[in-house]
Structure 1
Amino acid sequence: MAQGARRTVGQVVAVLALAVAVTAFLSVAAVRHGFFDLKVYYGALTFWTHDGGEIYDFLKAGTQYGFTYPPFAALVMLPMAYLPWPAAITVSVVITVLASTVVIWWLVDPIARRAGWTRWFALAVALCLAAAFEPMRETVNFGQVNMLLLFLVAVDLLRLLPVGSRWAGVGVGLATAIKLTPGIFIVYLLVTRRWRAAATAVGAAAAATLLAGALFPDASREFWTSALWNTDRVGELAFVSNQSLRGTVARLHPEHPSTVAWLIVVLLVLVLWGWRARAAVAAGDEATGLALTGAVMCLVSPVTWVHHLVWLLPALTLLVDNAMAAPARSARRRLLLAAALLGYALLCSRIVWAWEKDFTGVGGFLGSNTYVWISLALLLGLPIRRWATPTGGGRTGGDAPVGSAVEPGGVAQFPEPDRVAPGGQRHRVGRLHPVG
């Protein structure tokens, strides 16, 4: 058997073994939520379209949970009301899997190219690991829309902005119209002075919102004047699944959480994020800009359930990218790989649920907010990858494709002949050399 064939057989066996291991892990660790959130969407849409009720008046039987997204989300989900329940589940799972596959491919493929890994093998391994990731499995089991939103944002930041497309911003705008929290990416575009993309994002969000308002005036009026401000519909802030700064503060004093303390911490975190985001874009590192903004969104949102933490996937992937760009057997590579492994392992472990009933005391405070600490660590410590073209090409800046990691004292890329990157743009693929 030829060496290449033996390598392929070995990789297929490795992927199958990993898939079996992940399946076994999920059989023990994964919680079956019965597509709870999807049932809320489905019930609200059915109540609205078939029973003559208002979508924001619907509450799932025996709960305080109702439809909490803007009217444009209802428009996007409307076809679901005309499907049988098993078909709605199938559509939800298929969309999540497809969106996840594309986003993970965009993040992992550049690493595989530079590291010399077989690209399909790298993607298969990454997908298996993603399946074990608690936020990802919670997204699937709840029937959530998180990966669709991440896909829309990634289209802009990883595929359109680096090549200067006039459509850059549409994905961010649509994601914001579906769910308000991705609006932080409009702020990201403003902070990093991409005025045209920010204007396009605002225009897309406004157009989608006005379209929904024209089609569903009563629902739009109720959402913007009432449902949006009804925090009881989203659940208890101190609940351990709320891994945001607001949840952290609320767990200190569940009966009377301090809004002032929360706002002060949020302000400090936003200042840190703005500084790091601008540095990332100035270095031409759009992927890190996306990752930092995803992390800060999880932190500053009043409610960040565990399934929302799929927005940390880019940051964890980029830790591996930075590690593989560091010199082999260097302390930097070991540190970054260890950080990525620790963050990933903790985010697979359901560790915060150990304090679901009692999060008092120092141990309870530290343990019940484990995922918040990971988000903060990624925001603070994720390296910014700098583009080096020392042969006179100058910094590639915002036109650089997703590429190699380098920090001062780390490694830099030196140009070699042009190759075609994903998406069709041509760029220099370099060898890694130590700097300083």
Structure 2
Amino acid sequence: MPQGARRTVGQVGVVVVLAVAVAGFLSVAAERHGFFDLHVYHGALSHWVHDGGEVYDYLKPRSKYGFTYPPFAALVMLPMAYLSWHLAILVSVTSTLVASAVVIWWLLDPVAVRAGWSRWFTLAVAVCLAAAFEPMRETVNFGQVNMLLLFLVAVDLLWLAPRGSRWLGVGIGLATAIKLTPGIFLIYLLVTGRWRAAATATAAAAAATLTAAALFPDASREFWTQAIWNTDRVGDLEFISNQSWQGVVARLDPGSPSTLLWLLLVALTVALWARRCRSAVAAGDEATGFALTGVVMCLVSPVTWVHHLVWLIPALILLVDDAVAAPAGSRRRRGLLAFAAVAYLVLCSRLVWHWERGFGGVDGFVFSNFYVWISVALLVALPVRRPDGGPTAPDGGPDRESAGGAERAGVAQLGQGERGAAAGHRHRVGGLLAVR
């Protein structure tokens, strides 16, 4: 059998074994949420369309949870009211898997090309690993929309931005109109000086919101004057799944959490994020700016349930990319791979849930908030890369100790044919994804 055929057979075998192992892990470790959030969406929309009620008046039976998204989200989800329950599940799961695969592909494909890996094999392994990732499991099992929103933002920053498209900002605007938290990416555009793109995002969000208001004035009035302020519809801030700074502060003193402490933590986090994002974009590293903004959104949002942490996936992928770009056998490569592996494994483990019913004491403080500490570490330590593939120093300049070695290592891993393919790929994406 030719060497190439043996390699393909071996890769197929690895993917099959990994897929079986992940399926076994999911059968044991995955929580069965019964598509709880999808039940809320489907029930609220059916109540609105078929029963003549208001979408924000609906509460899932035997719960306090109702539809919490803006009216434009109800407009986008409106076809769900005409789907059977099992078809709604199929659409939810399929759309999440497709959106996840596309985003992972955009981030990983340049790595595979540069490192000389089989592209299909790289994607297959990554998708298997993503399936075991607790935030992804929770997103699928709840029937959540997180990956669809991440996809809309990625269209802007990983697809349109490299091409200098005048439509840059539309995806961010639509994501913000569906759920308010992606609005931080509009701030990201402002912080990094993309005024036109920020204006486009604002216009897209405003147009979507006004369209929903024109079509559904009563629902819009209720959301913007009442439902948006009703935090009881969201859940308790101290609940262990809330892995944001607000969750940390609430668990410190569930009876009277300190608003001042939370605002101080948010201010310091945003200041660091703004500095790092400006450095990333100045270095031509839009992918890291995108990843850092996803991380900071999780930290500063008042509520970041575990399933929202799919926004950490880009940062974890880029850690692996940075490790591959570092010189073989270097301390930098070992450190980055160890960081990525520990973060990934912890975020597969359901670690924080062991402190769900008791998060007092030192161990409770440390471990009940462990996903927050991972987000902080990613915000602080995710490297910024220059267009030539080398890392930057903390001040945004080149890291002279390792930049040359990293570039040489990246080139050495490519044969002549792979170098040609990589060059073509860099040209195709307009230079941005060459960083990654």
Alignment TM class, shorter chain as reference: over 0.9
Tell me the residue number matched to 1:59: 59
Tell me the residue number matched to 2:315: 315
Deviations 1:36-70 (A, max 9, x none): 00000001001111111111111111111000000
**Cα shift at 1:323:** 0.3
Tell me the residue number matched to 2:39: 39
**Cα shift at 1:253:** 0.3
**Cα shift at 1:230:** 0.6
**Cα shift at 1:326:** 0.4
**Cα shift at 1:427:** 5.0
Aligned equivalents of 1:187, 1:92: Cα separation in 2? 29
Q: Please state whether the residue corresponding to 1:9 is helix, strand or coil.
A: helix
Deviations 1:212-235 (A, max 9, x none): 000000000000000001111100
Q: Is the 8 A contact 2:133 2:344 kept in 1?
A: yes
Q: Is the 8 A contact 1:323 1:333 kept in 2?
A: yes
Q: Please state whether the residue corresponding to 1:420 is helix, strand or coil.
A: helix
Q: Measured at CA, do residues 135 and 431 of structure 1 come closer, stay the same or move farther in structure 2, by a change above 3 Å?
A: closer
Deviations 1:232-288 (A, max 9, x none): 110000000000000000000001111111011100000000000000000000100
Tell me the residue number matched to 1:264: 264
Q: Is the 8 A contact 1:93 1:140 kept in 2?
A: yes
Q: Measured at CA, do residues 302 and 423 of structure 1 come closer, stay the same or move farther in structure 2, by a change above 3 Å?
A: farther
- Which TM-score applies when normalising by structure 2? 0.93
**Cα shift at 1:336:** 0.2
Tell me the residue number matched to 1:399: none
Tell me the residue number matched to 1:409: 401
Alignment-mate amino acid for residue 410 of structure 1 = S
Alignment-mate amino acid for residue 326 of structure 2 = A
Structure 2 residue 148 is matched with structure 1 residue 145:
no
Q: Is the 8 A contact 1:139 1:145 kept in 2?
A: yes
Deviations 1:311-365 (A, max 9, x none): 0000000000000000000000000000000000000000000000000001000
Q: Is the 8 A contact 1:420 1:426 kept in 2?
A: no
Tell me the residue number matched to 2:16: 16
Q: Please state whether the residue corresponding to 2:423 is helix, strand or coil.
A: strand
**Cα shift at 1:410:** 2.2
Aligned equivalents of 2:355, 2:248: Cα separation in 1? 13
**Cα shift at 1:421:** 2.0
Aligned equivalents of 2:60, 2:84: Cα separation in 1? 18
Q: Please state whether the residue corresponding to 1:64 is helix, strand or coil.
A: coil
Q: Please state whether the residue corresponding to 1:239 is helix, strand or coil.
A: coil
Aligned equivalents of 1:353, 1:104: Cα separation in 2? 27
Tell me the residue number matched to 2:423: 419
Structure 1 gaps, min length 5: 391-405
Tell me the residue number matched to 2:96: 96
Instruction: Write out aligned runs for 1:244-259 (5 A).
Output: 244-259=244-259
Q: Measured at CA, do residues 389 and 313 of structure 1 come closer, stay the same or move farther in structure 2, by a change above 3 Å?
A: closer
Tell me the residue number matched to 2:243: 243
Tell me the residue number matched to 2:164: 164
Between the two proteins, what is the percent identity of the paired residues? Answer: 69
Q: Is the 8 A contact 1:43 1:60 kept in 2?
A: yes
Q: Measured at CA, do residues 244 and 426 of structure 1 come closer, stay the same or move farther in structure 2, by a change above 3 Å?
A: closer
Q: Is the 8 A contact 1:159 1:423 kept in 2?
A: no
Q: Please state whether the residue corresponding to 1:263 is helix, strand or coil.
A: helix
Give the RMSD, CA atoms, in angstroms: 2.1
Tell me the residue number matched to 2:385: 385
Deviations 1:283-324 (A, max 9, x none): 000100011000000000000000000000000000000000
Q: Is the 8 A contact 1:384 1:407 kept in 2?
A: no
Larger helix percent? 2
Q: Is the 8 A contact 1:386 1:407 kept in 2?
A: no
Alignment-mate amino acid for residue 385 of structure 1 = R
Aligned equivalents of 1:428, 1:251: Cα separation in 2? 41
Q: Please state whether the residue corresponding to 2:428 is helix, strand or coil.
A: coil
**Cα shift at 1:424:** 3.0
Q: Is the 8 A contact 1:385 1:407 kept in 2?
A: no
Tell me the residue number matched to 2:130: 130
Structure 2 residue 231 is matched with structure 1 residue 231:
yes
**Cα shift at 1:163:** 1.7
**Cα shift at 1:423:** 8.7
Instruction: Write out aligned runs for 1:362-377 (5 A).
Output: 362-377=362-377
Deviations 1:86-143 (A, max 9, x none): 0000000010000001000001111111111000000000000000000001000000
